[in-house]
Structure formats: C-alpha cells, structure tokens
Structure 1
Amino acid sequence: MRSSPHLTKIVVLANLAVMVAAVVVLLVLRTATVTPATPLSGKVTSAPSGSAAPAPSPEPDLPSADLPPPIPATVEFARQVKANEAGLVPVLMYHRIVKKRLASIDRTPSQVRQELEKLAKNDYVPITAREFVTGKIDIPAGKHPVVLTFDDGHSGHFALEADGMPAKDTAVGIIYQVARKYPGFRPVATFWVNRRPFGLEGLGDQKRAVRWLTSHGFEVANHTWTHPSLPSLSKKKIAEQIVKMERLLKKLGNGPSETLALPFGAMPRKKSTVQSGKWDGSRFAFKGVFLAGAEPSLSPFVKGFDWRAIQRIQSNGKKGECRKWCSQYWLEWLNKHPGDRYTADGDPEHISIPQGLRGNIRSQRRQQINAY
C-alpha cells in the first residue's frame, strides 16, 4: 500500500489541498461569525466572543475516560481476537463545528455525531494523540484505536453550561453523547489550540476550560501562538511561536505539550525546527508532530513510523478533493481491509501480530512481540 508511487503522489497532492483549504477557512473566519453552541438545558454557554466560562460541578455525571484493566494476551488469544498491532490507525482531523458550513473543512454537529457513532459501531475506541505517539494504546482486545483531533481551539469544540456540563453541540458534548449511547466508546480527544483557547479571552476562563478538559482525560496541546505558515518563518520565529503557546498553556495549568499540530499541515524545510528548540530562555520538545492529511497513520510500533510527520485524515465525505483521502473514504477502506487495520490484544505489555509481520516491528520493541 505505501510503496506505491501513485499513492505517494496522491498523498502529496492531498496535503497541498488541505493547506489550500485551511487558508480559505482563515479568510472566511475574518468575516464570518461562528454560531454559538446549542445549550443542553437552555442555559447560557460560553460565547464565542470570550464571555465567562462557568465553573464545572464537582462530579459531573459523565462517562469515564479510564482505560480498562489490562489482560495477558497469549498467542492463542491473540489469534482468536485477530490482533494486529502493526496495523493502520486513523487519526481524524476536525476544524470548526458549526450549524451551517461556510468552508469545505467545516463540520456540522450532526455530521460529527454521525461519524462518531459509526466509529463506535465499528469497534473503534478513542485515544489521545499523546497516548498514540507514546504507544499507550491500552484498549480492549479486538477493538481498534482512533485518534480524534480538533485544531485551532474553536468555541464549537468546547463550552460549558451554567451547571458545568459540556454544551450539547460542541465536540466534547457530542463525544459524551456517543459515549453514553455506546459505553465502549471512550470519551477522549486532543485539542490543539492557539492563543485564544475555545474563543475565550480572559485568562481565568481559559484556565477553567483547559483544567476541565485535562481533568476529564482530554489532551490540550500546542498549535502555535498565531497559526502562521511555518515554512515562511525563520527558525527563531518558529521557536517564538511555539514557546509563547507553551507559556500560555503553563499559565493555564497544563503542559508541557508532548504533541504539536502544524498550522496548515505545513512542515518547515528543516523538520528539526519544530521537533525541539528554545526561545527567550525557554525550551520545547515534542514526541509527536502531526500533519494535515491524508491517510491513516502507521502504528507507532513499526519501523516506518515517523513521529516527526504523522499523517492525519480530514473529517469529510467523498466529494471533490475528498474522493480518495478524507474520513468517509478511509473508514470504508479500513472496514474492507480488516487485515491492514490496527486491532488490539488488550495487553499493553505485548505487541500481538500475525507471524508474517514480525519483521515490521521496530528493534526497540521486539522483546514485546507476541506473534501467532
């Protein structure tokens, strides 16, 4: 699949298409007003303009993000559940969630809800980007990991009701709705934010939002300070963009970030400038750097996995530029090719794979191999 020159060409074109679409979205954002999330109970939510975020209730009635207890996977058990922890993992990319789409990469609450329910029905279990890059894929045997990622920290991603519960039509609200309906669907995701997390202006409101999310198992991490195209910046300016965002996250009681999503998916000429560095006496270092498209990621356990340039899949249908590289296409493809998909063994101490894939596992992980 990955050695095909044709596919490589498609992937390059897909990444360029995603970058162009993202630029268009930013232009739209300068003139368009984001529709506020619909409240759960009719009470006021955090407004997109940055109004106060109400404090959460001490123990909200929400599904848990706790990982299940591990089990020891024998060779026979791995065979029974058809485990393949060298398989492909979909890392889904979302941007704005709005009632009326203004750009091709926008999604409506209904579209997000339908996609997450489809994932749940097909035995996908969410993990965070941080868990993915560190190999902490501790999901139940026979299930498949999916990484839900949301870029730019829009108000449609997270807002709280006056009672401290997530607003219904935000990303977090939708994730919890699906988790209630499908108990095996773990309510976690990664939010990569810029200098105004979730459209909130005040530091206190931003802190309450970020602390709420991280205390419930979500990841909030770095998407640069002002979302510039990094290839157009010097090494010093790139470091400044990253460090300023890290400093804000620290003020909000979070960090340091272990993952970074590149604005527009645009990689600087020197990849090392976004992997680690320093500015104004502050350092940063990431364990995973994520692109903007356009195919499933390799397992973090295999030789070809490159933590410096991790593929993602844009959430979208199969029209136009998305005909062969957005979420509907790839999720259908993975369902038709179950042998190529990551299937867990439920045992975090072992990497269970078919015997023929032994040579695919990275040398540092070979002692964990459980081949059948």
Structure 2
Amino acid sequence: MSRKRAYFFSSRSFLWKLTFVNIAVMALALAVSSYTIYNTACMLVEHMGPSYKYHNEFFNATLFRYLFIITTGGILVSGLLQVLFTRRVVNPLNDLLESTKLLQKGMYPEPIRAPKNKKDELGQLITQFNELIHQLESNATERKKLISDLSHEIRTPLTNVSGYLKAMESGVIEGSPEVYRSLLNETGRVTAMIEQLDHLAALDNQLDEDEPLVPVKVEEAVHRSQAAFRAKREEKQIEMEVDVERAVVKAVEKYVEQIVANFLDNAIRYYEGNGPITIRGEQQSDAYRLEVCGPSQTIREEDVPHLFDRLYRVDPSRSDATGGRGLGLAIAKEMTTRWEGDIGYERKGDDNCFYVTFPNRHE
C-alpha cells in the first residue's frame, strides 16, 4: 500500500475526521427529527380514544421500525455521499501536502491538477501553488545559469592575465606599454563586472526596503538622464530627438532616471546605421509608455525572451568590444517591478526600441 493511500485510511486523515464529524451531525439531526415525529404521531393516535388501543400499539411499533430504517439508511447514504464529495476537496490538499514535503527536500514537484472550479478558494490555492513552483524552478535555472555565466565571464580575463604574466616570467614576451595596456584592459573588465554586480546587489537591497512611490515628472527625469550622455553622443556624432508628453507618474524617481539611462546606454553603445536616437513618451488608455529607440542590428528572435535576464548577452563578441555585461536591462527590469509596470523590446523598422510603462493610478 502506498504511503499516500496509507495516510488516506489512517485515523489522522483529514478526510475521515471531516466525514465523522459530518456523519455525527447528520445522525443527531435525523435522530432528533425521527424522535420528534414519532412522539408527535403517537400522541395524535392516543387522542383517538381507548377503543383504538391495539391499533395504537401496532401503529407505534410500525412507525418506530420504519423511522429506524429510514434514519439508519439516511445516515449510511449521506455518509457515503459525504465521503465521495469530501474526497474531491481533500485529495488536492493531500497532493499539496506531498508537494510541500518534496519542496522541503529541495525537489520540485509536478504541478497539481486543479479542481474543475478554479474560481473557488481551493482552486485559487492550487493555481497559486503551481505558479509558485514554476517561479521557483525558473529562479533555480536562472541562478545556475548566472553562476555558470559569471564563472565564464571572470575566468576569461583572468586566464588572459595569467597567460601574459607566465609569458613575461618565462621570457617569451617582455614588458611594454602595449602589454601593460592589455593587462589593464583585462583587469578593467573584471572590475567593471564586479561593480555592476555590486550595483545589482545594492538594488535588491533597495527593493527590499520598499521605497515609497512618489509623483515623478517624466519630462524632467528624461532631461536629466539624457543630459549625461551628451558628450558620448557628440563623440560618435549621434543626433537625438526627444518627444515626451508631459505627465506625472507614480514611481521611484531615481529608478526612472536609471532605466532611461540604461536604455540610452544600450542605444549609443550598439548604434549602427543612420538616423537619430529617439525618446518618446505618451499617455495611453491604461498606462504611460516611455520608449528609447535607436538604429542597430536586428536582435535574433530566440534572444528576445532573454534580453532582461541577468548576464545574458545577445552577442558576446560585440559585448566584449563595447564593454556590455548583460546587467543593465536586468537592473531596469528589477526596478520596473517596484511600480508593477511593464518593460519590453520591439523592433520598429531599423530601430531597436526598449520601453517601460507606468500604470495609471487613481487615488
């Protein structure tokens, strides 16, 4: 007998406890009803007079017998129905119990089959639990990938530095400004990555602190963010167009500026082609949408779902050349969750467009 079936038949089973309680309540109700009916009927027959004494006794005995049979049968039938219907409620709870035990062991259980009526409390509980399992599995997969990617990212420059140092030690190459510059570049790659990881860790701590949402003037936040990139744009001779509809959104102001800065940094870093970088903002029916677009290579369709994953880089060779570490968009996504907004990517003509939304809030 399986462990699950053994528990089902044990006295500790919630199903049997609930069944026994309900049967006891129904038995008491039927017994009281039968007793009341029996006494009332006997009293009415006695009022018919002494000439009906024999018939009274026969009637009382027959009535008692039928009431006993009906009451006993009612208890048995209702008890059986109670078990059948209660099992439909308890079985998902037993599955939930077994799944939580697997979670305690570090294993991820299969999704629990939800009841037909998913809108009741039990259905919502099962649905939420299944979503929790899916999220935990996704987090575990992302964590493994993060560790793997991070190991690769750090190992590559350190291997290069180690190779240079061993070659210099053995006399294969001699120290020169070019060699020292290469060593400095490799150590700079590691330093830049660690700084971004520190930024990401600091952001997680800030999100845990639950900073309050405040009114933010979008056009002012955009102006402050894009002003910081003026020198970099002029160096690459990139024009910029800003068309931001005036609006006040509920958000964390420094997060809004950081998200715009991350979008602009990507647009400038991977700029290829002709045309300006554009910043647009418009009020839509359910949210305010802010987007940054710039001409660049088309992002492969298989890469799009992972653009906002930590340490994910669409083209490692291009990222190495430009200094990208695949953390800017991940940071932007973490920030956006603070006000329950949406963040995403779209291809418009020759432009890669990244957008963020701010839900309308009526208070």
Indicate the structure whose relative CO is greater, using CA pairs within 8 Å and at least 6 residues apart: 1
Give the number of the structure whose alpha-carbon radius of gyration is greater: 2
How does the TM-score come out when normalised to structure 2?
Answer: 0.23
**Which structure shows the higher helix fraction?**
2
How does the TM-score come out when normalised to structure 1?
Answer: 0.23
